[in-house]
Structures are given as structure tokens and as C-alpha cells.
């Protein structure tokens, strides 16, 4: 199983550490060629402006869109969530409001109930976005202050926090499990 | 229960800046240029290090109105510098809600014995270091990010290379030691033993390590990444170059693609003159700012 992690900028190495611990191979994605043959993808945290410019510079927008729409499992965190919204790659039917909680002084961590993930998990929000204007296809998995901070649409899950920074592998395990499920479906077919 | 300003939250912002370039800017216009070129953050200051060096005098925290103007101009994180030991400047910067405070040797030190007690602040700090012991002392004081110092404002990367090689070399040496050798290593490094043990075990600093001081070209930026930096600060190198827009974008591109020399070559092509730069020897011992901080 090879999971790609967009590595233009941001905390992509933290994602790779979690994925490797779960038994997945990790490939850093910096150009469209790096997307060939991936089983799943992570859009990491980082600076969304930097990442947007990088995606443009590398000609990655269309290939990333294709991969996400092909039904391959995708996990996006923080800036990655922003990349997938209607104003950026247009893969998720919602808008992510950047820096919604304010400047770094308002960054925080708290326990969060993530629907379908068992006991609460520790969520780290760093200059985080929240979700606005979610369409009908968007399932909200968690909220803070009445704003969605974790959503799922088909095989794509996007969270405003950083599961890669806490050592709790449950969110990444979801991605790995969805990839296994896709493999099983292919074999059955 | 919402916990703000935990160390994980402070160090976490630096994690988000990794693989990126933090650029010195002195006006809102420059901040916009930096953001459009792909900077992950800007450092708001009144004079870039090259001008501080040239003009002399006491270099202090910037005017709050300048910092606020830059905060309004961009949506990426805004950092600002306080003098070493000047906790009041740091409190002012925290009141301005800057995203990171750089307790910086580029400004004239305010305390020649003590650094700021960074644990007392909610805003995270980045500090300079020339070697591993210095880096670990700053982390013990509460720094949530480290940058190697280099020699700011010179456009000469030689000191930055010296410092990152020292830091990574000392980390490798700790990794080769057995547990009974670490207390003596901590004594020699003048660093806390628990941090020394942590570095020996993990083979890296407990916080993000960027490189700074003298980076002027895309190849410089890629060199520092290859030597173990997790990102770059570029000060005078951008707005003292002939074509700041293109130089800034090129340094961003080279920082991402540091493992691919063809991409670094492409980024380096036709940028015009980089900043002029100076020989370190020409500065004399008193002209070096890397020795500020203890």
C-alpha cells in the first residue's frame, strides 16, 4: 500500500511517521508524476497560501482533483482541508474559512468527539479553519463552537485539526482501512 | 476544556512552517510581495540586517504601527523581533498578537547575562543558536523553534553552514554515546540532561530547526536544506537583490525541491544580481553579531 503525502510545504513528515507506523509505505508528492499508482493521499497541514501557489507552480491542481474524484481515499488536515474546498481544488462541497479561530494566540488543543471514532480524541487546532456553507453531500463528524471542524464526503475526510501531531493514530487508521476496503472491493469485482 | 498556549500548540505552528521560507519585510508592500511569492511567514522589522549593519546604532523592536500595518496586509503568520533579554519588548509584541516572537541577536542585546523567560508567554518564541548547547539552553528557556544563526546581513552563507553542521554533528555524536556518557556530554554542552537524553534518543532537536543568516540564492537555500535545516529564514537576501519578486519565488521553489538539482537550476536562472554580500573576515571580531546570546 502506497500513500502519497503532498510535500510542497508543511508537516508532511509527521504524517509519514504515523502512516509508516500503521504499515503503509509513504511517498512524498511534489510533482504530478509522484501521484502515479498511489492507493491514497494525505493533504497535510501547512500554510494554505504557500500550498496553493505550489500546487499552481507544479501543475498539480488537475491531477490532484482527478485522484480525489477517482474515489481513492483522501485524508486532509488543516491547510489540506482548505485545499479541497470549493474556492481551491473544488473537491469538497463546502468552504473552509481560513484562520477562523484567529491568530496564534487563539490556537488551542481540546478533547473532541469525532463521530464514529469511539472515545474522544485530543485535537490540536493551529490557526485553524472551520467549515462554512457545507452542501448536502457533506457529513459533519465534529463541531467546535457550533462550526464543523471534521467532515466526510464519500472517501474523503477533512479535519481542521492535526491528528498527525498527537500520536493518536485513529484518524490515519481510517485512511488505511478505507484503502484496504477499496482493495477488497477490487478483488471481489 | 480548551487549552491555549500549550507547548504542543506553540511548537505546532513551527511544524506548519516546515519546508518553507520565512522572509524579512520592512513594509506592508514587501509583506504582500513575500506572501505572493509563497513565503510561509514574514518577519516584520524596521530595517533588514544588512541596513542595521551599515547604519549602526542601537537596533530595537519595531514600531507597533509598522507591525500592525504588516499584519493587516497579509494572512500568513507575522513574526517580530525583540532584543535578547528585553521581556518588555516581548510583552508588547504579545499584546500586538504577533504569531511568533524572535528573540534575536540581530537587534542590540538588552541583557548580557539572561535571555527572556519564554515560558511566561503565550506567544511562541524562536531563538538563534550557533551550536547544540546553545539551542538546548534556549529550548530549556521555552523556545518552541530554533534557527541556526549564521551571520545576518552578510549575504554570505559560510557561517550558516558552520552552525548547522555543528548542530547536526553534535546531535550525531550524542546518538553514538551510551547512557552513562550523556551526563558528561550535557555538562560539556552546558545543556540540561533531560534534553540531551531526548536528542540522543530521537536524533533531532525536540523543536523545528530552521536555518538563517546569509542565505541569498536558491542554491544557498537548497544547500541548507540538504545539511539538515527544516526550512529557511531569508533576511536581506530578498529585498536587497535586483529582482525581489523572482528571487523570493525562486528561493521558495529551491527550498521545496532541494533534492532535485535540475529544479534548483531552473529556479536559479536569470534572477539578476543577488545581494552583494561581504567577506566575514572583513567584519572583524567586533563586527560579528552571532556571538550575541549566551
Nearest-Cα distance to chain B for A149, in Å, is 15
Please, which contacts does B267-273 make with residues 24 or more away whose CB atoms are closer than 8 Å?
A: B267/B218, B268/B217, B268/B218, B268/B219, B271/B217, B271/B218, B271/B241, B271/B242, B271/B243, B271/B246, B271/B247, B272/B241, B272/B242, B272/B243, B272/B246, B272/B247, B273/B241, B273/B242
Q: Which of B143, B151, B250 minimizes the C-alpha distance to B191? A: B143
Q: Would you write out chain B's pLDDT as a tens digit for each of its 294 residues?
A: 899 999 999 999 999 999 999 999 999 999 999 999 999 999 999 899 999 989 989 999 999 999 999 999 999 999 999 999 999 999 999 999 999 999 999 999 999 999 999 999 999 999 999 999 999 999 999 999 999 999 999 999 999 999 999 999 999 999 999 999 999 999 999 999 999 999 999 999 999 999 999 999 999 999 999 999 999 999 999 999 999 999 999 999 999 999 999 999 999 999 999 998 889 999 988 889 999 998
Concerning whether B81 is annotated as a catalytic residue, the answer is: yes
State residue B236's pLDDT score.
92
Residue of B nearest to A80 (CA): B16
Q: How many CB atoms lie within 10 A of CB A33?
A: 8
- Are B16 and A124 an interchain contact pair (Cβ–Cβ within 8 Å)? no
Å between B264 CA and nearest CA of chain A? 14
Contact A54 B122 (CB under 8 A): no
Overall average pLDDT of the A146-164 stretch: 98
CB contact under 8 A, B38 and A54: yes
Residues of chain B found within 8 Å of residue A13, distances taken between Cβ atoms: 18
Residue B248's H or E segment, with its range, is helix B244-256
Which among B8, B124, B252 has the least Cβ separation from residue A104? B124
Of the pLDDT bands very low, low, confident and very high (cuts 50, 70, 90), residue A143 is: very high
- A137 pLDDT tier (thresholds 50, 70, 90): very high
Question: Pick from A25, A98, A91, A95: which is nearest to A55 by CA?
Answer: A91
Closest Cβ opposite residue A50 in set B4, B38, B98: B38
Predicted TM-score (pTM) of the model is 0.97
**Residue A50 and residue B252: Cβ atoms within 8 Å?**
yes
Whether B8 has its CB under 8 Å from any CB of chain A: the answer is yes
Interchain CB distance below 8 Å, A9 and B8:
no
- Measured between CA atoms, how close is A174 to chain B, in angstroms? 23
Q: ipTM value, please give it.
A: 0.97
What one-character-per-residue DSSP string does A22-76 give?
TT-EEEEE-SGGGGTT-SEEEE--S-HHHHHHHHHHHT-HHHHHHHHHTT--EEE
Q: In CATH, which of 2.40.170.20, 3.40.50.1780, 3.40.50.880, 1.10.3080.10 is domain A2-188? A: 3.40.50.880
Inter-chain contact A109–B41, Cβ cutoff 8 Å? no
Amino acid at each position: 500500500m502506497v500513500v502519497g503525502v503532498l510535500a510542497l510545504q508543511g508537516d508532511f513528515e509527521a504524517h509519514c511517521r504515523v502512516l509508516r507506523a500503521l504499515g503503509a509505505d509513504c511517498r512524498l508528492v511534489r510533482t504530478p508524476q509522484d501521484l502515479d499508482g498511489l492507493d491514497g493521499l494525505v493533504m497535510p497541514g501547512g500554510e494554505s497560501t504557500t500550498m496553493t501557489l505550489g500546487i499552481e507552480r507544479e501543475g498539480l491542481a488537475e491531477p490532484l482533483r482527478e485522484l480525489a474524484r477517482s474515489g481513492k481515499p483522501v485524508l486532509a488536515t488543516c491547510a489540506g482541508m482548505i485545499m479541497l474546498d470549493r474556492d481551491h481544488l473544488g473537491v469538497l462541497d463546502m468552504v473552509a474559512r481560513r484562520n477562523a479561530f484567529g491568530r496564534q494566540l487563539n490556537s488551542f488543543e481540546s478533547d473532541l468527539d469525532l463521530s464514529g471514532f469511539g472515545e474522544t480524541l485530543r485535537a490540536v487546532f493551529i490557526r485553524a479553519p472551520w467549515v462554512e456553507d457545507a452542501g448536502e453531500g457533506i457529513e459533519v463528524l465534529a463541531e467546535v463552537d457550533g462550526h464543523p471542524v471534521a467532515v466526510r464526503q464519500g472517501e474523503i475526510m477533512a479535519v481542521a485539526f492535526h491528528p498527525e501531531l498527537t500520536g493518536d493514530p485513529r484518524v490515519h487508521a481510517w485512511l488505511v482501512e478505507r484503502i484496504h476496503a477499496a482493495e477488497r472491493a477490487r478483488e471481489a469485482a | 476544556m480548551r487549552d491555549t498556549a500549550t507547548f504542543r500548540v506553540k511548537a505546532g505552528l513551527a511544524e506548519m512552517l516546515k519546508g518553507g521560507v520565512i522572509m524579512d519585510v520592512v513594509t506592508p508592500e514587501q509583506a504582500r510581495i513575500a506572501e505572493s511569492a509563497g513565503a510561509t511567514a514574514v518577519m516584520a522589522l524596521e530595517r533588514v540586517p544588512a541596513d542595521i549593519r551599515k547604519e549602526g546604532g542601537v537596533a530595537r523592536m519595531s514600531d507597533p504601527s509598522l507591525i500592525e500595518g504588516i499584519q493587516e496586509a497579509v494572512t500568513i503568520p507575522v513574526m517580530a523581533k525583540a532584543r535578547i533579554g528585553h521581556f518588555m519588548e516581548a510583552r508588547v509584541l504579545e499584546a500586538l498578537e504577533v504569531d511568533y516572537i524572535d528573540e534575536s541577536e540581530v537587534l542590540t542585546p538588552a541583557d548580557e547575562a539572561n535571555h527572556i523567560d519564554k515560558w511566561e508567554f503565550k506567544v511562541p518564541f524562536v531563538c538563534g543558536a550557533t551550536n547544540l548547547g546553545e539551542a538546548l539552553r534556549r529550548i530549556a528557556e521555552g523556545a518552541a523553534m530554533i534557527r541556526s544563526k549564521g551571520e545576518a546581513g552578510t549575504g554570505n552563507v559560510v557561517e550558516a553552514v558552520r552552525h548547522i553542521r555543528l548542530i547536526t554533528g553534535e546531535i550525531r555524536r550524542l546518538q553514538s554515546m551510551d547512557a552513562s556518557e550523556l551526563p558528561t556530554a550535557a555538562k560539556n554542552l552546558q545543556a540540561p540532561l533531560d534534553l540531551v537524553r531526548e536528542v540522543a534518543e530521537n536524533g533531532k532537536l525536540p523543536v523545528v530547526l530552521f536555518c538563517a543568516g546569509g542565505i541569498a540564492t536558491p542554491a544557498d537555500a537548497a544547500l541548507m536544506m540538504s545539511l539538515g535545516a527544516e526550512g529557511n529564514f531569508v533576511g536581506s537576501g530578498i529585498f536587497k537583490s535586483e529582482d525581489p519578486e523572482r528571487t523570493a519565488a525562486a528561493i521558495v521553489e529551491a527550498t521545496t525541491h532541494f533534492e532535485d538539482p535540475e529544479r534548483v537550476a531552473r529556479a536559479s536562472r536569470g534572477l539578476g544580481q543577488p545581494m552583494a554580500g561581504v567577506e566575514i573576515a572583513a567584519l572583524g571580531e567586533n563586527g560579528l553579531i552571532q556571538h550575541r546570546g549566551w
